[in-house]
Amino acid sequence: MDFSSSDKDLWKQIYNTKDLLHCFNCSTCLSGCPASHGDPPLLVRNLARMVVYGLEEDLLNDDTPWACVSCSRCEEMCPMDVKPFEMILAIRRWQTLNDETRVPTAIVEIYKRGYTQSVGTNTELRKSLGLPELQTITKMPEMLKLYQEMLMKTPVVSENDYMFNEE
Amino acid sequence: MAEKKPTGTVLVAGAGVSGIKAAIELAEIGYKVLLTDASPQIGGILAKLDNQFPTDHCGMCRMLPLVGREYASQYCMRKGLYHENIEILPFTELKSVEGDAGNYTIELLQKARYIDTDKCNGLGECIKVCPVEVGDEFNHGLTKRKAVYKPVPHNTPQMLLIDMAACTKCGECVKVCPTNVINLEAEDELSTRQVHAIILASGVKLYNLEEFEDAKSWAVSPDVVSSLAFERIISGSGTFDGTIKRPSDGKAAKKIAWIQCMGSRNRRQKRDYCSSICCMFALKEAVLAKEKGGDDVETTIFYMDMRTFGKDFYQYYEKAVDEHGVKLIRCRVQGVMLNPDKSLSMRYFDSETQEFFVVDYDMVVLSTGQVPYETHKKLADLLHVAINAQGLLPTDPYEKVKLIKPGMFLCGSLMGLTDLSEAISSGIAAAGQVSRFLSGIDVTLLEEEEIPEPTAKDRDEPLISIVLCKCSEKAKESSVDFNALGAGLKKLNSVGEVNIIDMVCSDEGKQTVLDLLSKSKCNRLLIGACHPFMYRKSLKNLAKKAGFSASLFEIIDLSSIVHKGFFESETKDQTRLAYNEIRAVIENLKLKPALHVETLPINPAALVVGGGIAGMHAAFSLAQRGVKVHLVEKSDTLGGYAGTKIEHTIDGLTPISMAKDLTIKVLEHKHITLYKNCEVVATQGSLGAFETKIRDLAKEENFYLNHGAAIIATGGHEGVTAEYEYGNSDQILTQAELKDGLTTGEIDVGEAETIVMIQCVGSRQKDGREYCSRICCIGAIANALTIKEKNPEARVFILYRDVMTYGFAEQYYTQARLAGIIFVSYSLENKPKVELKDGSPVITFTEPVLNSEMQLSPDYLILSTGVDAEASNRDVGKAFSLPVNGDGFFVEADSKWRPVEFLKVGLYVAGVAHSPMTLKDAILQAEAAAHKTYAYLSGRKIHTAHVISKVHHAICVKCQRCVDICPYGARSYDEVLDRIIVDGATCQACGMCGVACQNNAAEIMGFSDKQIMAVIDARLYRDPVATTAQ
Amino acid sequence: MANFTKLSFKKGELNQKLADLFKGMMEKGVVDALLAPMIQPKRGVMLTLVTDPSLVGAIDPFAPVVPVNGARIASSITGKPSGRKTAMVLRSCEIRALVELCKLKQAHLDDVLLIGMDCLGRYENLDFIKLRAEGQSSEAFIEKALAGNTESGGCDVSGACKICEFPVADNVDLRLCIIGTGSDALYIESLTPKGDKALETAGLGIGEAPAGREAAVQQLVKKRKDACDAAFAQYRESTPSVDALEDRLANCINCYNCRVACPVCYCKECVFVTDTFRHNGDQYMGWADTFGTLKMPTDTIFYHLTRMSHMSLFCVGCGQCTSACPNSIDLMPMFKAVAQKTQARFDYQAGRSHEEKQPLTVFENDELVEVTGQIK
Amino acid sequence: MELCLFLGCNTPAIRPDVERAIRATMPELGVDLADAEGYVCCPAFGSFPSTDDDSYLASSGWNLSIAEAKGLDIMVQCGSCYSSLRMGRDHLAHDEEKLARVNELIELTGRKLECKTKVRHISEILYNEVGAEKISRSIKKNLSGLHGIVQYPCHTLFPSEIVGFEESPREPKALRILTEALGATVDHYSRELQCCGGAGGFSKSSPAEATEFAKTKLDAIIEETKADFIVVSCITCLMYLDNIQKKLNEVEGTDKYHIPVFDYNQLLALCMEFDPRQVASICTVPRNKVIDKIMAG
Amino acid sequence: MSEFEPKIVGFFCNWCTFTAADLAGTSRLSYPHNIKIIRMMCSGMVDPKYVIKAFLNGADGVLIGGCWPGDCHYINGNLKARRRVAMLTEILKEYGIDEKRFWLRWIAASEGTMLREVVNEMTAKLKELGPSPLNRETPGKKTPGNETPEKVNPEKVKMIG
């Protein structure tokens, strides 16, 4: 691989923070990361390195950022305060921004009913447990409208509005 | 009459090695020293370490003075320090400092020990009965101690104390104390003292597992220990008699892992520095673990950069890895998990295979570093100074040991983070600064008590006077019948008289003895008392006053007969044991020759070879103290490499202008004579009287200089290389060339897109410079930062093996990364490859994180070629017959304990001639070397020791085996005289010559065959207890 | 490569030939002086230093006697070099001792043309004189000895010679060869440039090695080696213990002749005759006390053991000690046996080469670990 | 005190018995709960936080503003809801631009956000506001004789300076102390701080590994402790540790994995003698043994 | 009848083993009284004469204690000692003095425990071997030099203080 082909400013697009530059590849983030047990493993340290080097291609095609369990252990342990979890989210965002297939289906569901799953519809069960009716947004159409209207004003949703509008 | 000037008095606060060293150095030249330590004992951390690399053993005794050594302690430093000019105040804190330069009033708070250690016999009856048990901090809680305890279990004499925090005041100890010296109501004592100068040597706090958050993910088992605790575990005097067992269950530990950078190099925990010492520490412990635990012990070190930057460190590192098979893994691990079987599981990522591994260990050792700052803040307030930007005490920019406040100095870890040899040099340097300072104010030195040697009576038939102190009779174990003993001895041939008195050590006691002896007819004297090494000198003087030749005088340690385990026998008949012991000494004393110390003729002039900054600094430091200096420089300009080539350094120093100022000082000083274009050809003589032949290269003629001592400061220069296509392209430069180009502007990086630097070019490898040049990483970073300043868009890659930004230099490494400089590590086995594509360099290397081949086509390729020794070192070495190592640097007497000395007394080394080092370190060494020199040229009398080797010319056949075998080069064959000559100052009476010489033409006076064989006889007079079984 | 000069001689003219040879050498200025065994006016053969060429006639190097080990003589002549070029004709045992003395700076060979001679053994001094009186010539001895028989008239060569593996001398410039050269010829072999030059100046041509020599030498060496092993075996048989040692030394009277005769005991004055061993009455009493009895004179075994510790590493087994003992204590086997052991321990061999350092003058950091058997 | 209960989705939808337990127990301890009508997804890290700031923070803002309107702090049980909300709030609290932007976005709700509302985790409330000692006083039954182990939700530990409330994130103790307050013996075990394996994309992208992950944890529990139950304070841990055991038994072909899992408030509720059928009814690993023991005790 | 108690002469280096002996003493690690310590400045100072003499005087064993390699206060005295011991052992062996009677050991100042172990080990070994062939003591015989000084009436000795 030749560095001349890599984009030296990529890190600024993805995770424009001095925190990233602090990284000295000590591997602390790796050793305790749950998702690093995955197949393929999530290798936070390597991702950080790829961002610094500006290896656009490889980064774009890398699925591992999405395997993160968001436990933020790396964040706690990183001796250089690189905030790796923040970086992972940043990579995900950059990927979605540059590749619509990365757009998580979850946000469509949330757009549609306010949650990733239907909430409060299990009325019978709740009754049997002596629970009250739950005022979820799903049950407040005009509220939900407002919510959707709001989301439409945000970049990824508006960019990919077709995913949301078609019935 | 004019009032007497006060004796120069110095406070040394902190009795770790650096403090002790400073104290000894000052005491030796005749200043009074108060040596305090906040802890109940002296010795600092070193008291806990039985082993230091590179020898893996102690050798602490090597820091004792060499000339007139009987008067300094002849004993292992672990037993304590005895010097008449040093007042040791353990368990004492510096409370306040008032007044100004040369006249300080200090308050000392001596904490209560609750035990009068002067009277305590140190046998610890009290300990036996004390009901309270707490963790013993000396063994890091691995063992238990009582509320009344011995702070350092293996010290003699023992300095017991009571830990009031734990004490229940049950009073049991008071009841059993045979010497009743326990006072549970004792109180701390605040005292006020006047001192003229202050040396701070209180060291820094050590990172500990209890206190710091990031250690908590490791605190899962007692088998996870700090590196210092591990020292105690492997220590012979430690927790498991030196065998390696894991604390949890005492099982032998076969798999041990070391975790580097615990508490260091951690921005998140606000500790963005490197502790410098831990890497070597871990290597050493890993090697020891194998040596003590056997080859089946597996040792692994988890590290980021192996910072083996010091002299001979790299060879040690190679040895550890190649010979001892210490495993190194470059990975920082989050924590450790405890397995049901008590083993410790660690998961790490291996970049080469890009795989995770989970390994179980029996023990995990955390390389816990030093924690500065806290200590510094407190001290700064005490001294009414402000801590500097780095959070350290504000010192002179160039002189690390010199506080900005006049009359105040510091040494040891307080300066930053130091290893052993630097601690020692700094101790000497601080002492030097003090003596420079005190020579400028109105104080005097302690008068050496000069008692004329009485005329020797050894030609007369030996007649021995014996004085026995029966104070030990009081000890509970004692069953010595002094009357019987005395009577028995009296019967012995050549025993003139036996006197038994009480408390010889007390002043009345001494007086009694003096009166007795003045009347005595005897010509030899034997005194039996306790712990003789504590007051050998005072008793010796007493003997002299009474007309006994100091060399015809012996002291025997009676207490040991009463107390020491190894004299015990079934019969418990101490009277007989004492009788036999004393009889052996008598046999020896009978045959002792009368010895005389010679006063060496000292020419109070020094020769300094090399006019670099180190050389000039040393010269000036000496001249300031009135010593005449010959400064010899082989070029026609002063300043050396740093002083002529380096405009400014990353830490804001400006060597060139500094050198200019220093040059003026040197040229103007009336005591310094400069010889430019001159080099040393040959030298002869010994301490006090060297004669050196100098060659004037310009005039092409020789002349001679006479001097009492010499300092070698020949320096070094940037290394050269043919590697990486150097010389074949104008885009390939050395760091120095780049630095020049950048300052002069000849090199314009404004347009540059990519610049690559390669570290360790030709360094740290068997077939090259087998050492780390120490300054290249920081140098490279400095250059890289300059490039980034000039052109932030430029991409700078630094290909390194280990980033050697040790200590606070770590901040520059961080700073560099922040500036976007990219660091990529490579291994010796897999160096980057450079080839020229139409004149321009193309670099191929393996990127270790992603483990993939990478390529760069930079505008510039910069090579860090390290530091080379001056080629002339070999000739200078020959001229002074001083050893030069394979890399062309001078070999000091002892890498840890005598860093600036040579084995031959009177010759010293400073600066890069010793090994590559930073400017500040070179100046530090120069100061130290200057002081060692001054100590002999200061004008005070220098005596040879009593016990040195002599030649019986009448029977000497000049086979010169003694010359070859003498480790100090103290013996030589003088062809003109056709004789073997002994340099009395250099001779250390090790006795090698005596053994090598088959007919005793070479003999250690006072250790003659006759004496020793007589002792053997005495030892083997039949002992009724031992009888052959039938 | 061979570098020999043949010197044929008629029966009875060997010494004459040699005399001419050295006369020539001295006249041609190859050397200024000659040290060689010479027949003495009255009786016996002694090393003699000759500076007048006309007086070399008495030379008789092959006379089977060595009254004094020549190394001592060479040492006294060259210890303080005279600057005069000297040829020295010596035997292997003398030269090996000389090598050690050089290392001990007791001799210097810069001005010496060292000439070694094949040695078939020596008789004890008195035996030799007796045999001479009976008319035995050196040539006769050589012939007999080469035939394998050294015994004659009830006398035999010394025990040391019987077990000496070095009939041929090394570390020499020239060698006088008589083993395997045929009864009518002596060969001079040159081993060094110095030797070559000497032969050249002496006007002696250069030729091939005598055909049978190598084999003959090897055979002799083998014979001696076997004899040596046998002797040691037998000796160790007899002296396995302190008791046996004491028996052996029972008659020692501390005359120190053995060390005076020993070529490598180079001390001016032995430590045992210095003050160190001058004791007081009460010391003797003390020792007597220890075991109840004390054999006088004391320090006999002490002396011999100490001497061993001093010289066993240099011992060349010349047997002069045995010859020197007035109470006919056979010391040679004791010393040679020990020497064999101690020298083997350091893979050292006294007199083998000038380059080998004497074991106790050098040391390595990580050698002989078995001594303490400790690893840190 | 009164707090605004943020339920998230899993609890009300899948484990409403936990919601019941919370609603039942907290008032008993003096913590009254208000509902967050019209709240939306927290939002889950896998959703808006992974696409862009606007949508992420707008959603956080949406939820926060509901509580702020009531002048109440938010109490959350679900770990990821807690950490998403808390981080979202953290961003807004420290970045006025972002806050302004969010206010633009949520303007249409007529609500305004000043970030006064705090986001707090239920175990922190129990630990700091209520306190172990008050809890032990308020229970009628207890867990004496029972052994348990605790599962700390990663989301309440890391990064400590944002979400943490323990003295040391590396040595958390709140949940242990709270459980001991119920009279149970809480056993230590080697894998205590290991992630449950349930969260986020991991269990989806590499199910096998995630299962293995949980296995090592459960094996350690079985091997090293006498645990009769597992206590959690995060709905994800609850569901995952409960469900995975059945799956493990199938995979391994054993039935060794059967340690019942409770949310802390469920145990609390049981000790307060609420009807088990209401507060602890939904589970894969049967809970009766433990429940009977409590009821009997 | 008492069991055979071997006599060991210990030539101890002042800087390491001698200190270790002190240390062992002060740490109350009692060891057999069999060892008779003679202080040397360095193990390299031990002349073969001394060892030979010790044996001739009836010592059953000789122990030389020196500093670990690389640790010698006099740079390399211990290494020279090691060679000498090797040489001397060969000589003693030839004359029936078992090498098991003549030990060189590295014992650092801090290794009091090790010293004790070494001495114990050596004592045990010598008890196995029995008395040295040179130890000619006839048991029970009273030795003038050495009886315990008998009780005397204080008046006989000048007493002060």
Quick one: DSSP state of residue B8? P
Which residue, B989, B150, C374, is CA-closest to E108? C374
E strand or H helix that includes residue A145: helix A141-152
E strand or H helix that includes residue E23: helix E17-26
What is the number of alpha carbons within 13 Å of residue D269 lying toward its C-beta?
A: 24
pLDDT at B1029: 28
* Rounded Cα distance, B532 and A20, in Å: 65
Mutate to test the interface with B, among E78, E87, E160 (most CBs of B within 10 A): E160
Q: What share of chain E is helix, strand, coil (3-state, %, to 5)?
A: 40, 15, 40
Q: By CA distance, what is B511's nearest residue in E?
A: E161
B732 pLDDT higher than 50: yes
* Contact with chain D for residue B745, Cβ under 8 A: no
pLDDT at D181: 96
Strands (E) located in chain A: none
pLDDT at C206: 81
Phi, psi for residue B858 in degrees, rounded to 5: -85, 160
Task: Take residue D102 and report the two structure tokens written for it.
Answer: 């969010």
| Count of beta carbons in the 10 Å neighbourhood of residue B1024 | 18
* Residue B56 region by backbone torsions, left for phi larger than 0, else alpha for psi between -120 and 50, else beta: left
* Rounded Cα distance, B753 and B755, in Å: 7
Task: Take residue B834 and report the two structure tokens written for it.
Answer: 């450079």
Report how far apart, in Å, the C-alpha atoms of B1024 and of each of B1021, C19, C37, C347, C350 are.
9, 72, 61, 45, 46
Mutate to test the interface with D, among A69, A111, A156 (most CBs of D within 10 A): A69
Task: Take residue D7 and report the two structure tokens written for it.
Answer: 């339920």
E138 pLDDT higher than 70: no
pLDDT at D213: 83
pLDDT digits (tens, 9 = 90+) for C152-202: 888 899 999 999 999 999 999 999 999 988 888 899 999 999 999 998 888
Q: What is the mean pLDDT of chain B?
A: 87
Q: Work out the percent of chain C whose per-residue pLDDT is above 70.
A: 98
DSSP letters for C185-243: EEEEEE-SHHHHHHHHHTT---BPPPTTHHHHHHHHHHHHHHHHHHHHHHHHHH--SHH
Lowest mean pLDDT among B762-766, C124-128, C256-260, E110-114: E110-114
The residue to which tokens 């004189």 are assigned? C129
Beta-carbon contacts of residue C166 (< 8 Å; ≥ 6 apart): C92, C93, C96, C119, C221
Three-state SS at A140: coil
pLDDT at B71: 47
pLDDT at B500: 87
Strands D32-35 and D2-6: parallel
pLDDT at B420: 87
Three-state SS at D253: coil
Over residues C357-365, the mean pLDDT reads 88
pLDDT band at B475 (very low <50, low <70, confident <90, very high): low
B490 pLDDT higher than 90: no
D30 pLDDT higher than 60: yes
Lowest mean pLDDT among B41-55, D193-207, D266-280, E61-75: B41-55
Residues of C in contact with E86 (CB under 8 A): 345-346, 368, 371
Three-state SS at B258: strand
pLDDT at B43: 80
CB D36 within 8 A of CB D289: no
Q: In what order do the strands lie in the sheet with B197-200?
A: B86-89, B32-36, B9-13, B197-200, B408-410
E104 pLDDT higher than 90: yes
B350 burial type by CB count under 10 A (0-12 exposed, 13-18 middle, 19+ buried): middle
Over residues C321-341, the mean pLDDT reads 92
Mutate to test the interface with B, among C80, C260, C283 (most CBs of B within 10 A): C283
* Rounded Cα distance, B278 and B302, in Å: 12
Q: By CA distance, what is B355's nearest residue in A?
A: A41
E92 pLDDT higher than 50: yes
Helices C281-291 and B1009-1020: angle between axes, nearest 10 degrees: 40
Q: Please answer yes or no on whether B1024 and E146 come within 8 Å at the CB atom.
A: yes
pLDDT digits (tens, 9 = 90+) for C252-286: 999 999 999 999 999 988 999 988 888 888 788 87
pLDDT band at B742 (very low <50, low <70, confident <90, very high): very high
Which residue, B53, E126, E124, is CA-closest to C376? B53
* Rounded Cα distance, C122 and C129, in Å: 12
- Which among E53, E108, E160 has CB closest to B512? E160
Over residues D96-119, the mean pLDDT reads 95
Mutate to test the interface with D, among A43, A94, A107, A128 (most CBs of D within 10 A): A107
Which residue, D124, D121, D177, D175, is CA-closest to D150? D175
pLDDT digits (tens, 9 = 90+) for D209-256: 888 888 999 999 999 999 999 999 999 999 999 999 999 999 889 999
Q: Please answer yes or no on whether E160 and B1021 come within 8 Å at the CB atom.
A: no
Q: By CA distance, what is C300's nearest residue in E?
A: E56
* Rounded Cα distance, B290 and B495, in Å: 55
* Rounded Cα distance, A100 and D275, in Å: 49
CB B678 within 8 A of CB B942: no
* Rounded Cα distance, B9 and B444, in Å: 9
Beta-carbon contacts of residue C14 (< 8 Å; ≥ 6 apart): C62, C138, C139, C186
* Rounded Cα distance, B369 and C106, in Å: 59
Over residues B979-994, the mean pLDDT reads 87
Q: Please answer yes or no on whether C270 and B999 come within 8 Å at the CB atom.
A: yes
pLDDT digits (tens, 9 = 90+) for C215-249: 999 999 999 999 999 988 888 877 667 888 888 88
Longest pairwise C-alpha distance within chain B:
101
E152 pLDDT higher than 80: no
pLDDT band at B570 (very low <50, low <70, confident <90, very high): very low
Lowest mean pLDDT among C58-67, D79-88, E141-150: E141-150
CA distance A140 to chain D (A): 7
pLDDT digits (tens, 9 = 90+) for B558-569: 776 665 544 444
Report how far apart, in Å, the C-alpha atoms of C202 and of each of B604, B962, C25 are.
62, 43, 5
Whether the bond into D276 is cis, omega within 30 of 0: no
Q: Please answer yes or no on whether C266 and B957 come within 8 Å at the CB atom.
A: yes
E27 pLDDT higher than 70: no
* Rounded Cα distance, B830 and B314, in Å: 18
What is the number of alpha carbons within 13 Å of residue D280 lying toward its C-beta?
A: 31
Over residues A3-21, the mean pLDDT reads 89
Q: Work out the percent of chain B whose per-residue pLDDT is above 70.
A: 90
Chains C and A touch (3+ CB pairs under 8 A): no
B501 burial type by CB count under 10 A (0-12 exposed, 13-18 middle, 19+ buried): buried
Which residue, E56, E68, E58, is CA-closest to E114? E68
State whether the Cα torsion B572-B578-B579-B585 is positive or negative: positive
Beta-carbon contacts of residue B210 (< 8 Å; ≥ 6 apart): none
pLDDT at E105: 94
Which residue, B995, B1005, B992, B988, is CA-closest to B952? B1005
| Count of beta carbons in the 10 Å neighbourhood of residue E2 | 14
* Rounded Cα distance, B530 and D152, in Å: 64
C86 pLDDT higher than 70: yes
Whether the bond into B848 is cis, omega within 30 of 0: no
Over residues B652-663, the mean pLDDT reads 95
* Contact with chain B for residue D170, Cβ under 8 A: yes
CB D2 within 8 A of CB D31: yes
* Contact with chain C for residue B484, Cβ under 8 A: no
pLDDT at B571: 47
pLDDT digits (tens, 9 = 90+) for B749-791: 999 999 999 999 999 998 899 999 999 999 999 999 999 999 9
* Contact with chain E for residue B1026, Cβ under 8 A: yes
pLDDT at B1024: 40
pLDDT band at E143 (very low <50, low <70, confident <90, very high): very low
Task: Take residue B594 and report the two structure tokens written for it.
Answer: 């009368």
pLDDT at B180: 80
Strands B197-200 and B344-350: unpaired
pLDDT: which is higher, B60 or B334: B334
pLDDT: which is higher, B459 or C158: C158
Strands (E) located in B24-163: 32-36, 86-89, 92-100, 103-110, 133-135, 144-146, 148-149, 161-162
Lowest mean pLDDT among C63-67, C299-303, C364-368: C364-368
| Count of beta carbons in the 10 Å neighbourhood of residue B779 | 24
pLDDT digits (tens, 9 = 90+) for B952-985: 999 999 999 999 999 888 898 988 889 999 988 8
pLDDT: which is higher, C359 or C204: C359
E strand or H helix that includes residue B288: helix B278-293
pLDDT digits (tens, 9 = 90+) for A46-81: 999 999 999 999 999 999 999 998 999 999 999 999
Over residues B841-848, the mean pLDDT reads 95
Chains E and D touch (3+ CB pairs under 8 A): no
CB B827 within 8 A of CB B789: no
Where is mean pLDDT largest: B573-577, B662-666, B999-1003?
B662-666
CA distance E87 to chain C (A): 6
* Contact with chain B for residue D216, Cβ under 8 A: no
| Beta bridge partner(s), residue B357 | B348
